[in-house]
Chain A
Amino acid sequence: MTLSQAMFPWLLLTAAFLFTLGALGVLIRRNPLVVFMCIELMLNAVNLALVGYSSYLNSEEGQVFAFMVIVVAAAEVVVGLGLLTRVFSIGRELDVDDLDELKQ
């Protein structure tokens, strides 16, 4: 069953809302773990839009691209959480405002 024309703008709107929430969380939260989760939320919003378009346009390429996005998200989480455990192991607080060595 393909996506009906009435529901398609609502799906797009939900995807935009989830993306906005993720971006807002990246901006206002200070815990790097929550920041990572918000990035995951943004990637999921993009996936929702891709699959919605794929269903609406009857084209499977959106699903292929969403699959690639999932793979990239998994790789990003692995490297990011590895970095976080490394930061924590040298005795730093988990706060993105304090981790500013690269600025200096």
Chain B
Amino acid sequence: MNVLLAILLILAAISALGVVFSSQTIYSALSLVLTVGLLAVVFLVLNAQFLFVVQLIVYAGAVMVLFVFIIALLDPAAEDRPRFLDLRLILGVLAVAALCTAVFVAARNDVTYDTSCTTQAVTCMHGYTVGSLAATGDQAADPFHTFGFPENAVNRAGNVQTLANQLFHTYVLPFEITSLLLLVAAVGAVYLTRRVAVGPRRDPQAEQRWRDDLVEGAE
């Protein structure tokens, strides 16, 4: 399982490079399809079967088809002048690298899970303590600490059933707000793509010349 997960993660990272550094837009889209599919398999390996199916249907099925359709419709040209060695690029890379390092270090070290709640930690809500408050003797040796949950307790009733229990009991209000969000997005998309006379045409003089040519051709 570890080897499979490592191979999947490496492949996902390589195909994500293709998303950013492809010159043609359609290659970026196809690389993103590959990345999304690989991440779906990662979800499957991580025992999140429902998200595996949702990822395949929503991302690979709906979102990427929409992307490819828009690419075919708009036919964007390849970028002829990549912004290399630009000051903005250098600053952006530095800022993003710092952000990445900060996020990774924080995720690896600073958030711990204290199941016992018996330490002298000030904040001990729902077992979560943040920072070094929960770092006691034997826990400090293990950067991720040990967790007191039984093995694979999440999926005892099945992944879909467990998630449905969470979605429709604990998180029913965010779930309903999500439906409202989808409705607003659908209405907004229809409003944006409706067919109206939008502003001036691309070039009124060119259209006039085109009409004049038509008249001359008819004569």
Residues of A within 8 A of B113 (CB): 57
Query: Does the CB pair B28–A37 fall under 8 Å?
Result: yes
Stretch at the interface among B75-83, B116-124, B131-139, B210-218: B75-83
The 5 listed contacts between A and B (C-beta, < 8 Å) are A7-B2, A11-B42, A27-B96, A30-B79, A84-B74
Q: Which residue of B lies closest to A14 (CB)?
A: B9
Count contacts between A and B, CB distance < 8 Å.
233
**Of the candidates A23, A78, A88, A91, which one forms a contact with B189 in the assembled complex, judged by CB atoms under 8 Å apart?**
A78
Chain B interface residue number, banded: 35 or more
Query: Does the CB pair A20–B189 fall under 8 Å?
Result: no
A33, B152: Cα distance in complex, Å: 40
Interface of A, secondary structure class, is helix
- B-binding residues in A (CB < 8 A): 1-14, 16-25, 27-31, 33-34, 36-38, 40-41, 44, 47-49, 51-52, 54-61, 63-64, 66-68, 70-79, 81-86, 88-91, 94
**Which of A23, A78, A86, A91 has most B Cβ within 10 Å?**
A78
Within 8 A of A (CB), among B64-94: 66-67, 70-71, 73-74, 76, 79, 82-83, 86, 88-89, 92-93
Known: A23-B96, A70-B59. 13 other contacts (CB 8 A): A1-B152, A3-B46, A16-B100, A28-B82, A36-B67, A40-B32, A49-B107, A58-B153, A63-B163, A68-B174, A74-B58, A78-B185, A79-B192
